[in-house]
Amino acid sequence: MATTFPLLRLPYLVLMPVLEQMEFMDRIALSILSKRARMYVKLLKMKCKYISLKLKDYKIEMEVFFDISKVLRVDMYIDVLQRSNFMNRSRLYSWCDGSLLPVDYVLSIMDVMNCKSINHFVVSEISEHDCIPIVAKLPKIDEVIVEHDWSSNSLSYEALFQKEKRLLKVLRTVLTVSSAVTISYGFQNYEHLREILKGNFDAVILKSSDNWITLNDLWITNAKTLDIDTQTLNMRDLNRYFKLWMKKICNDRMEYLRVRIYDKISVDHLLDGLNAVPVPIETKRAFRVLGNIKQVPWYEKISAEFDITRADGKTATIRLSEYDYIQFYVWSEATNNNTNLVSNQSSRISTFYNSCVEHLERLFLCFVFSCETLFFFFSTSFNWKDNGAFFIHLSFWIVLLLCCFLYIALTNFLK
């Protein structure tokens, strides 16, 4: 009968080198055993690139990416048995423990890896099991992705409706801690999608052209970035939306709108009544979206570009591409529609010059003040007829004149 080794009873100076020699998989397996074990493993300061979760029917798949050759995968089942599998290449750990929810293992691993947020949470297939207690404990999520489920095509309308209700419950839970959502699933219930569009997200991406987006849907959106692929919007709908933006009666948080339409592109219908100003395509401009510079992809060619300005002075740019994409950029007040966001060379020299002159002026005034103070001190404390006092006064005046000469010479040189 083998006896267990009391690993955590080792002295700290002995325990830490032992943990450092352990393989990565063994460290993770050790960390989920107890809070005390996790505390020691966390001191190793392991880090990962990102963590992703995927809700797929009756299990949650977790992947921890470190580099190309090291990926940890954890399958946590949300059924009655609550099984868990840890996989790393050919190694596999499997156990059944109903004392912890699957999300507790997720939080434990994130704590050990010093990871503050989940990179993306993918909803692929909704299970009949209640997973709300699990997803409700998830921390910050960078992006929620709703994938298209091909198995839904064989379901009846009533069964699909009930499934979408369960999906919406999950989304209502995870979207509260997420700043972006990408949907490639075509909602059967129109109100379910409209509820998502009303959320205050940083980014909303709709990849399914089956979503029947209308002008009213654009009007109620609050996202800063909106990317839509739809068959229902046309050029006149976008023209009306731009007019609503000009009147400040639509989404004022909008920074970027990208719409792929299947209508024939007509510049006259799109720009009717907008007083748009054409911009040469060759003009190099950098747009900021969510704090990042938005670059045009190399494969996407711009066919036309126009600027529109509303009454309060805010400017936006409408771009037309050759692949039926219409893009709408709203200039921030910081850029003020400047084509070059990087300061030029002359402005840098001017800034350097002003800073140098300012420092010289401060140094010169400090020196003059010091000379006046010392001059007053010597004039009241010593006799003028004394040769030593006279020599000190003369030295002060000579140094003061030299400093004045150097100050004038340096300011002229910097000019």
Flag whether pLDDT at 226 surpasses 80. Answer: yes
Flag whether pLDDT at 328 surpasses 90. Answer: yes
Q: Where are the domains of the chain?
A: 23-275, 345-414
Q: Which residues contact 243 (CB under 8 A, 6 or more apart)?
A: 273, 274
Percentage of the chain surpassing pLDDT 70? 70
What average pLDDT does this structure show over 162-173?
86
Q: Among 21-30, 164-173, 330-339, name the one with the lowest average pLDDT.
A: 330-339
What average pLDDT does this structure show over 32-40?
85
| pLDDT score, position 277 | 92
Which tens digit of pLDDT belongs to each residue from 373-395? Answer: 555 555 555 555 555 555 666 66
| Separation of alpha carbons 162 and 183, rounded Å | 19
Torsion of CA 54, 55, 60, 61, to 10 degrees: -20
DSSP strands (E only) in 267-342: 277-278, 287-289, 292-294, 302-309, 315-321, 325-330
| pLDDT score, position 95 | 52
The mean pLDDT of the chain is 76
Flag whether pLDDT at 34 surpasses 90. Answer: no
| pLDDT score, position 198 | 86
Flag whether pLDDT at 149 surpasses 70. Answer: no
Confidence grade of residue 127 (pLDDT, cut at 50, 70, 90)? confident
| pLDDT score, position 339 | 40
Contact 142, 98 (CB under 8 A): no
Residue environment code for 250-259, b if the CB has 16+ CB neighbours within 10 A, otherwise e = bbeebbbbbb
| pLDDT score, position 306 | 93
What average pLDDT does this structure show over 64-80?
75
Flag whether pLDDT at 144 surpasses 90. Answer: yes
From the CB of residue 107, how many other CB atoms can be counted at a distance below 10 Å? 14
| pLDDT score, position 141 | 93
Flag whether pLDDT at 2 surpasses 70. Answer: no
Contact 274, 243 (CB under 8 A): yes
Q: Which residues contact 329 (CB under 8 A, 6 or more apart)?
A: 255, 256, 287, 289, 294, 316, 317, 319
- What number of H helices and E strands is found in the chain? 12, 19
Amino acid (1-letter code) at residue 119? N
Percentage of the chain surpassing pLDDT 90? 14
Amino acid (1-letter code) at residue 367? F
Flag whether pLDDT at 161 surpasses 90. Answer: no
**pTM for the full model?**
0.69
Flag whether pLDDT at 412 surpasses 80. Answer: no
What average pLDDT does this structure show over 123-135?
80
Which tens digit of pLDDT belongs to each residue from 274-290? Answer: 999 998 877 777 777 78
Phi/psi at 365 (nearest 5 deg)? -65, -40
| Separation of alpha carbons 40 and 15, rounded Å | 9
* Best CA proximity match to 55, nearest among 114, 128, 1: 128
